[in-house]
Structure formats: C-alpha cells, structure tokens
Amino acid sequence: MATMTYREALNEALREEMDRDPDVFLMGEEVAEYDGAYKVSKGLLDVFGDQRVVDAPISELGFAGLGVGAAMAGLRPVIEFMTFNFAYLALDQIINNASKLRYMSGGQFKVPITFRGPNGPALQLGAQHSQACETYFLHAPGCKVVTPATPADAKGLLKASIRDDDPVAFMEGELLYNLKGEVPEEDDFVIPLGVADLKRVGSDVSIITHGQMVHLALQASDKLESEGIEAEVLDLRSVRPLDVDAILETVQKTNRVVYLEDSWPYAGTGAQVVSIIQEEAFDHLDAPVLRVTQADVPMPYAKNLEALAKPSVEQVLESCKKVLYR
C-alpha cells in the first residue's frame, strides 16, 4: 500500500490511463498551464503535451460539447469542470446529448466520456458554488454518477469511469483533496462501478451514505460506539448504478437505517434509496428510515449559518438513536 492524498490518487489515475490508452485526453479550465484549479492535473502537460492536456475557455457548454463529439468519434475525453456547479451550464450537452445518443442511435454510437470535478458543499463559497449536484445527473437515464470518498476509491473508480463506454459524472469531494489514505500498489487497480463498500461493520443501525459524507458517518459511528451502539457505514461509491444488493443486505442485518447526504432533502439521492428500501425490504424494518441532509435552503455564505445548514455529527447521532428508540 502507498499513502497518498485524494488529489494525488486522482492524478495517478489520469496519468496511468493516459499512458495506457492514447485515445484518453483531458480538457477543461486551467488543466494544462496551471495544473488544474485543485492541482489534480499537475505535471500532465509536461508528460503528454498540449494535444492531450487542453486548456479550454470559460465556456462549459462549448467544451463539454466538443468532448461529446470527440467521444462519438472514438476518443475517450475526460472533461474537467472547475466545480460541478459550473456543469449546470453544460447540462444540455451532458443530459440531452451524452446521456441519450447511444439510445437514440440504436447503439451505433458509444459516448465514453468522463465529466469530473469538485462537488458538494465547501467552505464559505456561497449559494451558487457550494452545493451537491448528484441529483441533476442521476435523474437522467444513460448517465452514471460516481462519488468517491477515499484516495483508493478515487483512483480505482476514476480508472473504471474512463474505461466505461457510457458518460460518467465523476464527482470529487471538494473538501477531500488533501485527505490522505492508503492506495493499493497494484499494476492496474480498478474498482468496478456500482459496487458499494462497507466502510465500517456494525449490527445495530445502518448509516448509508456517499461522497464526502462518508467521513461524517464514520465520526458519528465512533461516538455511537462509545455509547454501546454499533453502527454499520455503507458507502455507495456510485449512486447510479446503485448497489441495491448491498443496501438490502445491510437493512436485513440491522433493521434500522439512517441515510446521510450533503444535498437537499427534496427529491434527493436518499429519497430514491429510501424508496427502494420500503419496496424491497419493508418487512425487515423495525423503524422508519430517517434522512439527514443539508437544510432545504440555498447555502448561506455566513460561516455560522453555513454550519447550521450542513449535516452534522449531532444530527446523525440523534437520528440513529431515534430509529433505535433510545
């Protein structure tokens, strides 16, 4: 195992895939000369040149569309958005073109494109730049949505996303780039999409989550353990495709569930997961499934209000105890 940051793991994945497959190229705002806004593409321009590491103008709809066309022509573009909040400007290309062209062409076109960049609430970036964007992309058939929480997952899932023949929205935790963790030193470390991971084993209550909220769930589970409560933490890793078998397995084991996400509650990812649980595992539940989410408001800029709007360890603890009737 090698210890590296989340940022370094992403860089290593890009480097390895670009070295393995000459059809892979990276394009986005400041990815070349500046090494990326979060330095994920550091050093790639020097290795692969400006034909494969391409600085794009601030026109997300334009360079996302260029990437879609390149994917239809047989290349494997990786399109970086400086933040996934900016991807909203490219939704027409991502949802109406990339996600639908394989279906609309009767399988004549594949669109192997990866859209990646930072996602989720950050620190005092305000309402327009500090939000979790998963729901906008997982709602559309044809688009896969991946949310890695650790350096190992970041590397293995990015490699799998680049190799996938369908468009993937690869959403990196904005607060995770400096996170350190162990990454396997295998020659070709790849994690399949749609396979959840048990980050902690428990028997009393299941905390199901994804993305940077995995770490909040682990903090909460540590506190619960000190009170004699064993919480299981299931990291979905990708929210489309969804590992339904893993979800049902943990529900059948603990009989109590809290879903944690840093997006809004209305029509969120958790709403879909809860729907699956009540349809497929209702008889295994000993309490209603509860959700812990961001407050249903635009993210405030003021630091004290921002803290109130974000999910907290205390909210997770309260919800876990509530489903346990403590």
Residue 60 catalytic? yes
Q: Distances from the Cα of 18 to the Cαs of 145, 146, 171, in angstroms?
A: 21, 20, 20
Query: Among residues 17, 60, 80, 174, which one is catalytic?
Result: 60
Residue 284 catalytic? no
Give CA–CA dist 4/2, Å, rounded.
Answer: 6
Helices (H) and strands (E) in the chain, counts: 12, 14
Give CA–CA dist 295/261, Å, rounded.
Answer: 11
Count other Cβ atoms within 10 Å, centred on residue 288.
11
| 299 DSSP 8-state letter | P
Closest C-alpha among 301, 49, 266, 248 to residue 136: 266
Query: Among residues 129, 210, 232, 261, which one is catalytic?
Result: 129
On whether the CB atoms of residues 271 and 301 are closer than 8 A, the answer is no
Q: H/E element holding 316? A: helix 313-323
Closest C-alpha among 252, 154, 155 to residue 203: 252
Measured in Å, how far apart are the chain's first and last C-alpha atoms? 41
Class of residue 185 by CB neighbours under 10 A (exposed 0-12, middle 13-18, buried 19+): exposed
**Catalytic residue IDs:** 60, 129
